[in-house]
């Protein structure tokens, strides 16, 4: 087996695991079940993955790392603060919309990770939150946004992250449109007559 | 055993189950483990609970029902729209802050419910979402709020619900203060110079 076949098979094992974990929970999915779903015996399966927990780590970490890379790129892009926030919201909702199973696994089960893996995922997650705080801070420095409490970042991320539970890819709004609606509400408020 | 002893024991079984499910996941918690934690054998345990799924249902449904009752009361109270929204946000965050384990179980694992139990929890959840929509609609009718997209309700609930993951009861803000901060941001927006 050459290395690209190995990578392809590994990616397939991870994708199937994400679907199974999303459907039946991390704790509710056995290695035997995963092997059956991908058509591999236990030994062959462990050729691709170190452990069930390593799978959970890989599923969670990949998406958070991807969002961190995208946030770093957006922060470097020179966009003005409002456009930057909108861009970060669009990228997050697009990623969630296209990796709904992975995000479901992450949000439901990342707390099953232990030791160094758990620490790394939490650190990556905090880094992402920090990028949102940077974007808000830039808006305050540019006098485009008012200073807001530190914890608001978690509220904004709750608004966006929670879409993993209900976003419908074929629904009334695209993920970009939804991100725009959410950012409109957040930027301008929902009063008819802004103060 | 008289009926109040029975209720007390049953409540204790449910509380211990909520903690175990929150810590180790619904699928990751066995009936034997639960029995050990409450000091009851399998037979005695089934005297209090019908099944593990019934426990999950009871844990989830109790909190959602409580929020529905509180929302109904708030909607009947005659509060003006802004005060009504703030009251509903405060009640939700207070409930989450005081039942963090139950909400963790609900958000992570309600999808493990099946059949009628699943349908009932989803219906109760949709009812709650409907109450928020009613509150927003009242604000629009009173010309206090602008019309906003239907899906914004899910964004607002995401912002509030997600606190189950990170709210610290001994942290910098009380649940009431946090609800107020979130509603300030949502009502007035975060621009320094509102349009």
Domain residues for the domain of B6 are 1-49
**Residue B114, in any domain of the structure:** yes
**Residue A148, in any domain of the structure:** yes
**Residue B10, in any domain of the structure:** yes
Note whether A49 and A10 are within 8 A (CB): yes
**A136-145: average pLDDT:** 96
Residues in chain A with CB shorter than 8 Å from the CB of B192 are: 140, 143-146
Q: Where are the alpha helices (DSSP H) in chain B?
A: 3-24, 31-38, 42-48, 52-76, 81-98, 100-109, 115-141, 152-161, 175-188
| CB hemisphere CA count around A96 (13 angstroms) | 27
CATH classification at residue B112 = 1.10.357.10
Task: Count CB pairs under 8 A between chains A and B.
Answer: 155
**Residue B193, in any domain of the structure:** no
pLDDT digits (tens, 9 = 90+) for A21-58: 998 888 888 999 999 999 998 888 999 999 999 999 99
Cα nearest neighbour of A146 on chain B: B192
- Residues A116, A140 share a domain: yes
- Residues A26, A68 share a domain: no
Question: % helix / strand / coil in chain A, to the nearest 5?
Answer: 75, 0, 25
Helix, strand or coil, per DSSP, at residue B32: helix
Per the structure, how many domains does chain A have?
2
- Residues B85, B99 share a domain: yes
- Residues B95, B26 share a domain: no
| A185/B148 Cβ within 8 A | yes
Cα(A126)–Cα(A42) distance, rounded to whole angstroms?
Answer: 35
Q: Does the pLDDT of residue B79 top 80, yes or no?
A: yes
What's the pLDDT score for residue B25?
Answer: 84
**B28-55: average pLDDT:** 91
- Residues A69, A44 share a domain: no
- Residues B34, B77 share a domain: no
- Residues A41, A110 share a domain: no
Helix A81-98 and helix A175-188, axial crossing angle in degrees, nearest 10: 140
- Residues B154, B78 share a domain: yes
**Residue A43, in any domain of the structure:** yes
**Residue A194, in any domain of the structure:** no
Q: Does the pLDDT of residue B1 top 80, yes or no?
A: no
Residues with Cβ within 8 Å of A113's Cβ and at least 6 positions away in sequence, in order, are A53, A56, A57, A60, A121
Q: Which of B26, B28, B154 lies nearest to residue A166, judging by beta carbons?
A: B154
- Residues B112, B94 share a domain: yes
Apex CA A111: angle with CA A105 and CA A116, to 5°?
A: 110
Q: Which of B26, B146, B173 lies nearest to residue A192, judging by beta carbons?
A: B146
| B186/A186 Cβ within 8 A | yes
Name the nearest CA neighbour of B165 among B22, B14, B21, B16.
B22
- Residues B177, B129 share a domain: yes
What's the pLDDT score for residue B194?
Answer: 52
| A28/B182 Cβ within 8 A | no
- Residues B59, B45 share a domain: no
CATH classification at residue B23 = 1.10.10.60
pLDDT digits (tens, 9 = 90+) for B15-25: 999 999 998 88
**Residue A64, in any domain of the structure:** yes
**Residue A24, in any domain of the structure:** yes
What's the pLDDT score for residue A194?
Answer: 52
Cα(A4)–Cα(A87) distance, rounded to whole angstroms?
Answer: 34
Picking from A49, A64, A88, the residue at the C-terminal end of a domain is: A49
pLDDT digits (tens, 9 = 90+) for A160-190: 999 999 999 999 899 999 999 999 999 999 9
Q: Which of A27, A159, A191 lies nearest to residue B187, judging by beta carbons?
A: A191
- Residues B60, B36 share a domain: no
What's the pLDDT score for residue A1?
Answer: 63
């Amino acid at each position: 087996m050459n290395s690209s076949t190995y990578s392809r098979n590994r990616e397939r094992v991870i994708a199937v695991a994400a679907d199974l974990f999303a459907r039946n929970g991390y704790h509710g999915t056995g290695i035997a079940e995963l092997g059956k779903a991908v058509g591999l015996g236990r030994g062959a399966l462990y050729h691709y993955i170190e452990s069930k927990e390593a799978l959970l780590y890989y599923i969670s970490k990949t998406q958070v790392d991807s969002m961190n890379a995208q946030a770093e790129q957006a922060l470097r892009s020179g966009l003005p603060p409002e456009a930057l926030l909108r861009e970060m919201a669009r990228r997050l909702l697009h990623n969630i919309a296209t990796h709904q199973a992975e995000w479901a696994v992450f949000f439901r089960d990342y707390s099953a990770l232990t030791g160094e893996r758990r620490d790394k995922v939490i650190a990556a997650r905090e880094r992402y939150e920090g990028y949102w705080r940077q974007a808000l801070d830039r808006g305050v420095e540019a006098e485009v946004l008012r200073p807001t409490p530190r914890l608001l970042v978690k509220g904004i991320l709750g608004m966006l992250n929670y879409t993993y539970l209900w976003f419908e890819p074929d629904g009334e709004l695209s993920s970009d449109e939804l991100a725009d609606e959410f950012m409109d509400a957040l930027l301008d408020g929902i009063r008819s007559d802004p103060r």
